[in-house]
Chains A and B, each alone.
Chain A
């Protein structure tokens, strides 16, 4: 990532003040805004799992549609980056396309569908199947950053619970879930304990992807634009899905189904319901590579 270094001279007239501030912006946002977001991200990296408030700007995409992920990407991007954007694992999803072109149009950087070519990967609801390493930053779009939202509504009480690491009501809700249903029924966005301190909302990524976060080589940044918070899981951090020691954490099972395109059973599959159920890889780029090699 390279940083913009524009020369700064103090303006002495209002005309100069205006001229100074209306030069072409790199990556949609002005430098001051990007700096603010990066400062918030640094806080987040220093306190893994802690939700850092930030002055979230309105973006050309609506709140709830990736404005946070986009701000994180735009704050991190430099002219030598290459960006991959996926939604549900698909580079061609219309929202992913829209976000990707906003990034490339405002920066001129390269775009790619291949993980190994990318440096920034912005994603909604999936971690790419390919391994990522120290050269990657994964940026996840977050609809609801608060993992305890289901058990508490009051903002002040939520702040207290996190600050005192008082997660007892979360454990009670897991106990009740197991008692009532026989299994823990949390589907996506499974709550995890990060660095043995904060419980985080892992965004609606499937349980399938959760183990990839634990001791990862890559940095994961979480952007919640509407709720105006960012958080981070730095590389080589412990990420433990909350469960009882005698109730194993279960990823999604597909009962032996395989991808109808590439034959894989090693990737997260999504189904086309119908008379003959057919499954395919959610990660379209990965699937395509399996077929081509």
Chain B
């Protein structure tokens, strides 16, 4: 058994909300042997023979109801690739991803056509991006950004839309007197709160967060982080949190995966990982976070 496989504990849960099997993404030409030529043992995700990049490979995990799973690693580890493949922003090369709230988990969402994918993103799965500009229309008001998923889900009552937007903005601590200001005029932290409000508009059972506080000023980040923690607890969604920052992972998740060079090298309960990391790379990361 490889050093990597030694540290894989059971990642499967009964009745998962999210089930990911064999998720993989490469860039360039495919050569089956390139899988063996890349990864943590080779210290790179780039295959020297084909010049292809194996950004993520062989990723398996489940997420239970009400659980937040973290994916941690340095930049280039493949953690964002995994999130974007599940979100549908990037076309996965291979894999089977099923979501219990969508078609009873009988459909591999990686195969969905753009129309079906859009429906999934409206009703079932929301994404919060590192850069709020990616998840918001900057020229539209805060309320308007929330009206977007609501109308996409079929809301047609202006008063109700306004009420729901107010409710969400209040919960994400955005001042209501700014509801009709365009988002471009908001600070980074405020934009992030609006992005979160918008992501929650249709009460999605599944939430993906990609470096949600990276890029925010430290003073602002902690407030947003605390908000996310409260929301995850309150809403009991199934969530995946991607971050390079152990502080974020520690605060928000119960379990997490460590990724390096496109592969999962360890998965454990977050507390235990921080206390007693097994894989050398995890040890390195934890040590660096502690200093």
Contact A244 B141 (CB under 8 A): no
The A220-246 residues at the B interface (CB cut-off 8 A) are 244-246
Segment among B149-157, B202-210, B273-281 that sits at the interface with chain A = B149-157
Known: A164-B114, A164-B115. A172 touches B140 (CB 8 A): yes
Known: A168-B152, A244-B158. A176 touches B144 (CB 8 A): yes
Decide if A175 is an interface residue (CB 8 Å cutoff). Answer: yes
List of A residues within 8 angstroms of B143 by Cβ: 175, 179
Contact A172 B158 (CB under 8 A): no
Contact B140 A168 (CB under 8 A): no
Interface of B is mostly: helix
A169 to B140, CA, bound (A): 10
Decide if A178 is an interface residue (CB 8 Å cutoff). Answer: yes
The A170-222 residues at the B interface (CB cut-off 8 A) are 171-172, 175-176, 178-180
Beta-carbon nearest neighbor of B122 in chain A:
A168
A-B contact pairs, 17 of them (CB 8 A): A160-B114, A164-B118, A166-B115, A166-B118, A168-B149, A168-B151, A171-B147, A171-B151, A171-B152, A172-B137, A172-B140, A172-B144, A172-B148, A175-B147, A244-B157, A246-B157, A246-B158
The proximity string for B residues 72-115 relative to A, scoring 1 for CB distances below 8 Å and 0 otherwise, is 00000000000000000000000000000000000000000011
Contact B180 A175 (CB under 8 A): no
Decide if B43 is an interface residue (CB 8 Å cutoff). Answer: no
Closest chain-A Cβ to B92's Cβ sits at a distance in Å of 21
List of A residues within 8 angstroms of B118 by Cβ: 164, 166
Q: Chain B CB within 10 Å — which of A169, A175, A180, A246 has the most?
A: A175
The proximity string for B residues 41-69 relative to A, scoring 1 for CB distances below 8 Å and 0 otherwise, is 00000000000000000000000000000
Beta-carbon nearest neighbor of A160 in chain B:
B114
Contact B158 A176 (CB under 8 A): no
Known: A166-B118, A168-B152. A175 touches B161 (CB 8 A): yes
Contact B157 A179 (CB under 8 A): no
The B128-186 residues at the A interface (CB cut-off 8 A) are 137, 140-141, 143-145, 147-149, 151-152, 156-159, 161, 180
Interface of A is mostly: helix
A168 to B121, CA, bound (A): 13
Known: A164-B118, A166-B118. A175 touches B137 (CB 8 A): no
**Of B114, B152, B156, B180, which one neighbours A179 at CB under 8 angstroms?**
B180
Closest chain-A Cβ to B24's Cβ sits at a distance in Å of 28
Number of residue pairs A-B, CB distance < 8 angstroms:
49
The A243-275 residues at the B interface (CB cut-off 8 A) are 244-247
A178 to B151, CA, bound (A): 14
Known: A164-B118, A166-B118, A179-B141. A172 touches B151 (CB 8 A): yes
A172 to B140, CA, bound (A): 8
List of B residues within 8 angstroms of A245 by Cβ: 156-158
A246 to B163, CA, bound (A): 13
A271 to B173, CA, bound (A): 51
Contact B151 A247 (CB under 8 A): no
Contact A246 B159 (CB under 8 A): yes
A279 to B161, CA, bound (A): 40
List of B residues within 8 angstroms of A164 by Cβ: 114-115, 118
14 A-B pairs besides A160-B114, A171-B152, A172-B151 with CB distance below 8 A are A164-B114, A164-B118, A166-B115, A172-B145, A172-B147, A175-B143, A175-B144, A175-B158, A179-B144, A180-B180, A244-B156, A245-B156, A245-B158, A246-B159
List of A residues within 8 angstroms of B161 by Cβ: 175, 244
List of A residues within 8 angstroms of B157 by Cβ: 244-246
Contact B140 A176 (CB under 8 A): yes
List of A residues within 8 angstroms of B159 by Cβ: 246
Beta-carbon nearest neighbor of B156 in chain A:
A245
A180 to B149, CA, bound (A): 20
List of A residues within 8 angstroms of B151 by Cβ: 168, 171-172, 175
List of B residues within 8 angstroms of A244 by Cβ: 156-158, 161
Q: Chain B CB within 10 Å — which of A166, A169, A176 has the most?
A: A176
List of A residues within 8 angstroms of B148 by Cβ: 168-169, 171-172
Beta-carbon nearest neighbor of A247 in chain B:
B158
Closest chain-A Cβ to B263's Cβ sits at a distance in Å of 35
A171 to B147, CA, bound (A): 8
List of B residues within 8 angstroms of A176 by Cβ: 140-141, 144
Q: Which 9 A-B pairs rank lowest in CB-CB distance, beginning with the nearest?
A: A171-B151, A244-B158, A168-B152, A175-B147, A164-B115, A245-B156, A176-B144, A172-B148, A245-B157
List of A residues within 8 angstroms of B152 by Cβ: 166, 168, 171
A178 to B157, CA, bound (A): 12
